[in-house]
Every structure is written in structure tokens, then in C-alpha cells.
Structure 1
Amino acid sequence: MAKEILNPIVLQRADPFVYKHSDGYYYFTGSHPLYDRIVLRRAKTLNELHDAEETAVWWKHESGPLSELIWAPEIHRANDKWYIYFAAAPDTNIDDDTFNHRMYVLESASDNPLEGEWVEKGEVDTGMSTFALDATTFFHKGELYYVWAQQDLEIKGHSNLYIAKMENPWTLKTEPVMLTKPELPWEIKGFWVNEGPAVLSKNGKVFITFSGSATGVDYCMGLLTANEDDDLLNPESWTKSQEPVFQSAPENGQYGPGHNSFTESEDGNDTILIYHARNYTEIVGDPLYDPNRQARAQKIEWDENGNPVFGKPAPDDRWTPKTRDVL
């Protein structure tokens, strides 16, 4: 049984990602509110991540394609090495009011990813020269898959979700396949967005959660579901839930939950949802530079058909900042 989780688990780190490793540590990363670095921390429990020492393992470049708006890092493990996937924009990142991010990969052979050298493996080339972000990877039946958000200029909206197999952790092996585009009312408030995919395999199924709409109070999570024996590269294998599965809960003081990841409880018996949310709606200035999307965690329940039940974002247990000061 999962221990009681105290929220937030980490302050001011949006787009949170937690990896539970075989060494007994939870490894945490997320978007730093200054968008200029990639940070890691680790702890033996989710509650201890809150006060764990944080290390900046990579900094943005002074110029060029990796010099602005470092977004949504994720730390993964493959072939006995660590990999961090993240989005970065060039110093000329605004073109016709459109962000111009691409996806990049770092590699570390160190046992402890907070130590040792991180090597830049370069851009993940998807074959599409458009805005791309929020990549995640997962193994299925011994093969490595890549899921990410990217814009198609011929499809209305800012980003759709795509999937491909990988030749190695920084190279695609197959052509991108679109799984979903923003089209339902809850995906198109403020911005037409499908982003922030996260993969969970359980009960003979593969689930991909994702986030839709602008990142304020309307931000929420959707769900794609496939059977584990189906071809995951076939869009027909996936069923899209027509309603959001996780959304704002004013009664709990939680707004705009999303950009999630998954981990497990300390005893390994429960699946834990990791996500960010704000606890207020009045944002001064550009929401992109409001630092108070706090990282949170809570246990997932399961229905009689083996599908996840996310419930509502839990209320705060810990103090949170409400100013624009970055901790």
C-alpha cells in the first residue's frame, strides 16, 4: 500500500518526471522556471524529494539552437545508460509568434546521474521541421518507442501526438505516426494542444495520457488506450477517451493539472501519478513566467475493466509560494 503522499512533492517544478530506479532512488526532473538549465534530484521516498538537494546537470548554450526556453526534461534508462530528453529553442526562437523548439537528448554512463558527464547526443530528427516538444520513451516487447508532440502546419492547432520506434535512444527507426490531434472541446481552450504524453503499461493494455488546452485553469489530461498485443504504430489500435480524465478541482484548490508522468509506490504495489498544478487562478503577466506550477503525486485507482481512475487533484498538504519569485 502506498504511503501517504504530502503535496506538493517539489515546489516550482512544472512538467514533473519521476523515474524509480533499481538502486532504490526516485530520480526527479522538471522544467526549471528560468528555463535555462536541466536539474535533477533524488530521494528514497517521494516525500523526501521536496527537500532533496538539486543539481544542475546541464545549462543552455549562449547562442544557437539550444539557447532558449529549455522545457520538460525527462530522465530515462536504456542500455545501462541514462538519457535525458528535453526541448530547446534557438536564440531566434520567435518566428511569426510561433515557438520553434526541437527535441534533444543527453547521455550519461554514470551510475548516479547527478554525477559524471552528460554528453549531448544531438537532435532527435523526426523528419518534420516544425515545433516539437515533450518527448517520452518506453519499452514494449523489447523494442524502444518514442512518443512526442509536434506541429503539422496543415492541421489546425499547435501540436499533435506522434509515435515511432527507435533505432537507438537518439534515432528514430520508423516514420512518425499521428495518434491524436486536438479536436474535442476540452483540448482547444486557449490553444489547440495535445502535448505532454506519458506511457503506462498495465492489465494487458498500454495507456498514453496527454494534456490539452492552454496551461491555465483549462489545462487537463486526456487518455489513449491500446491492447498490449496490438500494433502500437497503427492509429486504429488506439481509442481516445472523449472526456478529460483529470482536470481542475476548485473544491480542492487545484487548477490546470497536467503534463504528467508515472512511477510506483515505494513498495512497488501501487501506480503513482506525477503531475503539476497551480493552487490559484489569478496569474499576473505571462503565464509562462509564473513559476508556481508545483509538482504533485497521488495514487491511481483501477476500475473493473483494468482502466486507470485518476480521481481529482488532491488538496495541498504543504506550504506553497504564490509570488513570482523563483525558489
Structure 2
Amino acid sequence: MKVSDFDFYLPEELIAQHPAEKRDESRLMIIDRKTNEIEHKVFKNIVDYLKEGDCLVLNDTRVLPARLIGQKEGTGGKMEFLLLKRIDKDKWEVLVKPGKRAKIGARFEFGQGELKAEVKGEGEDGSRIVEFEYEGIFEEVLDNLGQMPLPPYITEKLEDKERYQTVYSKEVGSAAAPTAGLHFTEELLNEIKSKGVKICFLTLHVGLGTFRPVKVDTIEEHHMHSEYYTMSKQTATTINETKEKGGRVIAVGTTSSRTLETIGDENGRVKEQSGWTDIFIYPGYKFKIVDALITNFHLPQSTLLMLVSALSSKELMMNAYNIAVQEKYRFFSFGDAMFIK
């Protein structure tokens, strides 16, 4: 299958630069896979499409303020670090700019020297393995010195850092937000619960590989980045009970989908588990766990667009995306949402 099959015209002005004024008042496209019918709603209307006995699966990862601006020890040359993933307690894989200054053994400092780093080795795709030095708790130092790592296509400054976190974010470790969850408010979640819908959480720490373009011509040649996930016994039990009683398992976001499909077995059951996943879902894939999906609008030729096309069909999804462009839906991280049911 060709990557170019997932191309569409996306005007630059439709890439949302800031979040909607209220989280649950972004737009919502409803796509019915059985009838191919498409409806246009507001996100808080999602309640009307959920049924008693359904289970909503949310990713409770929290974004690290993972962008650090510092200087090279000795020369004072400016340096930017972007934390990708934790390898060990103080060892991280990072993206560095400019890369030529980050040779093995090079040292850098951030703030007034509260945080220092030494390059220990090379990682994948030009990244570096660095070891940090600091006093106290790393997350607190990072909270003080780091900036929110907004995706490269968002050029406007984010005034409120919490708008790039879900209201239920808890487990710190992502380099990017699980953006489908940004539309939920505490009030909306309570309204959903009161309808008899179960809500449960898993964790997948989103890596920046999410934003890397597919550089091959055919989908089958693409290799996905790996991301760390964990699912509790409580969540596994809730999902299995939902399946047994005939309810729908509704994934909130592609990150939840990938985790559920990594853990799910051929009998449609999940179990308490953690590990790394590089699962790549594209048309032809048979879903084992996910029955429906809440997701944002993704970029042309992206692995995320391929995943949503696998759940519905490429024809239905490309038609929906063309309609979204005509109707001026807002795309990507701070954009509008769709519910594929």
C-alpha cells in the first residue's frame, strides 16, 4: 500500500495554533462505519453517542516540560535539548540542536547550573544518550527549567501550560500530549459516568516519533518508534467485563488504541501488563479490542491517519477528511475531534 494513498490537501490555516476557548466546545464529527453517515456536532454532544455498558479507555500520561535551553560548558554556545525517553534513572535519549556540538563527552548546563548533562552515546535517528546531574528531584528541577515541547507546526506561544495536558493526566513521562483527551472536562467525564459508562485508564508515554514523517514510499517498509505502556489489573478487568457483557470498548486516542491492541489477545481479552510497543496499525489490520475511537484530525500521510483508516476504511476516512477540510474543521493537537463508531 502506498503512503501517497493517504495524502490530502490541508490548508495551513486549518492547523490549529491554540486550543478552543472551552475544552468541550471544539467541534465533533460523528462517523458511522455501518451506514457511512457523517454528522457534525460539538464535542460535549459525545454523551449522546455513548451507551450504558460502554467503557471509555483514557491515556493518563502527563507531558514533561521536556524542552531545555542551555549552553555548552567552556564555550557558552547555545544548546536545545528535547527529552525523548528515560533509559535509566538519570539517563535519557534526547534530540539536540545543533547536533554537531553534542559529541560524546561534551558537557552542558541549564539555568544557573542547577542541571548539567554529559553526552554518553548516540541513539536512533541522530539523537543522543545523555546523563543528567542535579540536586534534589529531577521532575522538580525540570518543572522549573523546562518548557512545554509543542509540536513543530504550532508556532504560537501557549499561555497556559495546562491546556497541553488532559484534565486527568497523572503519570509523568510523555514528550507530547495524547491530544484526543484534551477535549474532556471533569464535568463532561462525570456526565458520562452518570450515564452508566465505565471510565478506565492506561498509560502510554507518547514519544516524538508521533510527529516524524513517513519517509518510505510503501507503508509496509515503515518502522514505528517504540513507546512505553502500562495497564493495571483493575483496567484489564473492567475491559474484559465490558467485552463479556457486550459493551463497546471505546479508545480515546490513537495512543490508547495502540496500547489496547498490543496487549489484546486473539480472544479479545487483555491482562495487566507493561512494556514497549512499536505496533503499526494500517488498513488490513483486524482490531481485537477497540470497538470505537475518539480521535483528532491528523496530518496527511501520517501513521495516525493510517490507523484510523484501518478501523473504518480508507475510502470512508479520506472522504471524511475532505469534508473536514471543506467544513473548515481545525486539525491536529489543538484541533477538533471525530468519533468513529
Q: Which protein has the bigger strand share?
A: 1
Answer with 1 or 2: which has the greater Rg.
2
Which of structures 1 and 2 has the larger relative contact order (alpha carbons within 8 angstroms, sep 6+)?
Answer: 2
Q: Shorter chain as normaliser: what TM range?
A: under 0.3
TM-score, normalising length from structure 2?
0.26
TM-score, normalising length from structure 1?
0.27
